[in-house]
Amino acid sequence: MAALLAGAGPGALAQAVKGQALTEADLIRFDKPGTVTLLHLTDLHAQMVPLYFREPSVNLGVGEVKGLPPHLTDQAFLDYFKLPAGGRDAYAMTSLDFVNLAKTYGRMGGMDRMATLVKAIRAQRGADKVLLLDGGDALQGSWTSLKTQGEDMVKVLTAMDLDAMVGHWEFTYGADRVLELKEKAPFAFLAQNIRSTEWQEPVFDAAKIYDKGGAKVAVIGQAFPRTPISNPRWMIPDWEFGIREDEMRSQVEQARAAGADVVAVLSHNGFDVDRKMASRVKGIDVIFTGHTHDAMPAPVKEGETLLIATGSHGKFLSRLDLDVKDKKVTGYRFQLIPVFSDAITPDPEVAKIVAAERAPYEKDLAREIGRAGTLLYRRGNFNGTLDDMICQAMLEERDVEIALSPGFRWGGTLLPGDPITFDAIGNATAITYPACYRINMTGKQLKDMLEDVADNIFNPDPYFQGGGDMVRVGGMGYAIDVSKDIGSRISGMTFLKTGKPIEADKSYAVAGWASVNQGVEGPPIWEVVEKYVARVKDVNIAPNSSVKVTGA
């Protein structure tokens, strides 16, 4: 295995020290630097302060990628990457024994800690040899980012001397705001796959070439191609997205013609989409992949292209060192650096920015609404206890029979006994289209909706996948066969209150949120959740067994 973690094998970090003796020096120790160092972070979701974040226990792959990384979890993940159970790596990268390990190893992330690592690596290598790249979803996902419309994170990333970023959730601030932030930021916002609808002109620069370590590194940006489908089109009415494989091929050729020694794609496609793109577009040395929140301690190689997956929420920083000779990459070494908050001294400059950006909202953020009686988390293809809490809040506070909550992958984890603060609620709900609607849907409409979402996730062709998780359902159970085609995956829909089948022609009262339609009415979802938690006080969510999965 070519990857090096802390200068040795992928399991070396866990074996390096005992207890809490891990130091910043341990985290950034690296064997044999290369010609150029590429640093990658992605899917930060505006998490400026340390948090807990449990990785999924279910992450299914279909078709040709079934059983391949990143579609491995827990013990299968540890076995594949030859990582020890019960240590730091297992805590950071799996859900195994999460509560106990969290108590041992503490929170992860925090932009002031991330800044410390980035600045230390630059000091070791020299800034002229280091490129810092962000893979998108950096400016959305917290209450402060919602209130500042992403500007809090722009200030943080500017202080970290970010070189380039791409986007996805950023676009939910609207086209005008995205362009405004782009002008404020000193770093590049790249997207080769966004065009104006009227003239088909590029909206953003497609690529930029950087001189680092004596090598020319071309960075090509790839925004999330399905943004107008997964998020409200009315917020970006004049822009078209898409994968644009032919245009990517052209960009690679142009980069080589311009003298690039290294071609890197900074992508928010999602891992499986990037794997397919790498198999079809030649000449890409590395794809820094994002969107699907996968964290892997070694690159996956597709042909001659390395795929790097850096996780989410600021838990990890990827370091890729490339040896460059005679206009080509001749070798590489890789390190997935876990950002253990307690082991890292906060960077004073970024810590000051974080404090200043949170200060106007601190009283509200710190307000304790209730307590987590059980582990509340938000990852898994079908269920998450934090999502179940949101569904229960809608069932009770909106007085409905069935609740629907989107399969978003962002939002922190709460340990049993943790306070449920407004900050924690905001971290799972802070979007620009938060209305919690109340409508009637027939059983047939509910099935059609589930079939549509399932195809978005389990279509065997990655180019037709959206990269999220299944819509969470409260008040209703169902069975899903992920191996079947659209229209045939969903069966056994059951109204949990009575245990009777959902009837196709019967109407049910349904609540949901994050509708992509314009003009949706209803209270913001954070108010619904806060009202529920304030009334219940101690939130205890039992394991959800209402979704039966086959074909996996």
Confidence of residue 17 (pLDDT cuts 50, 70, 90): very low
As a whole number of Å, the end-to-end CA separation of the chain is 28
Whether residues 411 and 313 fall in one domain: no
Q: Is 361 within a domain?
A: no
Q: Are residues 346 and 489 in the same domain?
A: no
Residue 271 and residue 379 in one domain? no
- Asked if residue 152 has pLDDT above 90, the reply is yes
Residues 420 and 537 in one domain: yes
Residues 72 and 212 occupy one common structural domain: yes
Least confident segment among 19-23, 190-194, 346-350: 19-23
Beta strands per DSSP E along 409-531: 419-421, 437-442, 469-474, 476-481, 490-495, 500-501, 507-512
pLDDT exceeds 90 at position 18:
no
Domain end (from 304, 321, 356): 356
218 and 168 belong to one structural domain: yes
Distance CA 274, CA 289 (A): 7
Band (490; pLDDT cuts 50, 70, 90): very high
Euclidean distance between CA atoms 40 and 199, whole angstroms: 33
Last residue of a domain, one of 330, 356, 382: 356
Cα 458 to Cα 445: distance, rounded to the nearest angstrom: 20
Whole-number pLDDT of residue 467: 78
User: How many domains is the chain partitioned into structurally?
Assistant: 2
pLDDT at 551 over 90: no
Lowest mean pLDDT among 184-193, 272-281, 461-470, 482-491: 461-470
* 390 and 280 belong to one structural domain: no
Strand, helix or coil at 528?
A: helix
Structural domain includes residue 4 = no
Query: Residue 23: what pLDDT?
Result: 86
Looking at residue 222, its pLDDT comes to 98
| CB-side neighbour CA atoms (13 Å) of 503 | 6
Whether the per-residue pLDDT at 13 is higher than 60: the answer is: no
Q: Is the pLDDT of residue 485 over 50?
A: yes
Average pLDDT over residues 187-205: 97
Give a yes or no: residue 6 inside a domain.
Answer: no
Q: pLDDT tens for residues 70-81? A: 999 999 999 999
Sequence-distant (6+) residues with CB within 8 A of 355 are none
**For 302-335, what is each residue's pLDDT tens digit?**
999 999 999 999 999 999 999 999 999 999 999 9
Stronger pLDDT, 6 or 550, i.e. the higher one: 550
Phi, psi (deg, nearest 5) at residue 72:
-135, 140
pLDDT reported for residue 304: 96
Is 204 a member of any domain?
A: yes
Per-residue pLDDT, averaged over 472-489, amounts to: 96
Residues 349 and 419 in one domain: no
Closest Cα to residue 37, out of 235, 250, 323?
Answer: 323
| Residue range 336-369, pLDDT digits in tens | 999 999 999 999 999 999 999 999 999 999 999 9
Q: Does residue 279 sit in the same domain as residue 135?
A: yes
**Residue range 230-235: mean pLDDT, rounded:** 96
Model confidence at 5: pLDDT above 90: no
pTM, to two decimals? 0.95
Give the pLDDT of residue 325.
Answer: 96
**Does residue 447 form part of some domain?**
yes
What CATH number does the domain containing 521 carry?
Answer: 3.90.780.10
Question: What CATH number does residue 233 fall under?
Answer: 3.60.21.10
Please check whether residues 86 and 49 belong to one and the same domain: yes
Q: What percent of the chain shows pLDDT beyond 70?
A: 96
Token pair for 528: 């619904």
Q: What is the mean pLDDT of residues 472-498?
A: 96
Nearest residue to 50 via CA among 357, 338, 339, 291: 339
pLDDT in tens, 52-65: 999 999 999 998 99
pLDDT at 22: 81
**DSSP element (H, E) containing 64:** none
Per DSSP, helices labelled H in 258-412 are 271-280, 348-358, 362-365, 385-397
Give the domain-ending residue among 356, 379, 395.
Answer: 356
User: 449 vs 455, 485, 490, CA distance in Å?
Assistant: 10, 14, 10
pLDDT at position 19 is 46
**Residue 249 above 80 pLDDT?**
yes
- Taking 50 as the threshold, does the pLDDT of residue 515 lie above it? yes
Confidence band of 543 (pLDDT split at 50, 70, 90): confident
Q: What is the CA radius of gyration of the chain?
A: 22
Domain that holds residue 470: 366-550
* Token digits of residue 316: 């990890």
Residue 213 maps to a domain:
yes
- Shared domain for 250 and 380, answered yes or no, is no
Lowest mean pLDDT among 172-181, 221-230, 394-403, 460-469: 460-469
Mean of pLDDT values over 105-133: 97
Same domain, 168 and 293: yes
Residue 431 pLDDT exceeds 60: yes
494 belongs to a structural domain: yes
Residue 2 lies in a domain: no
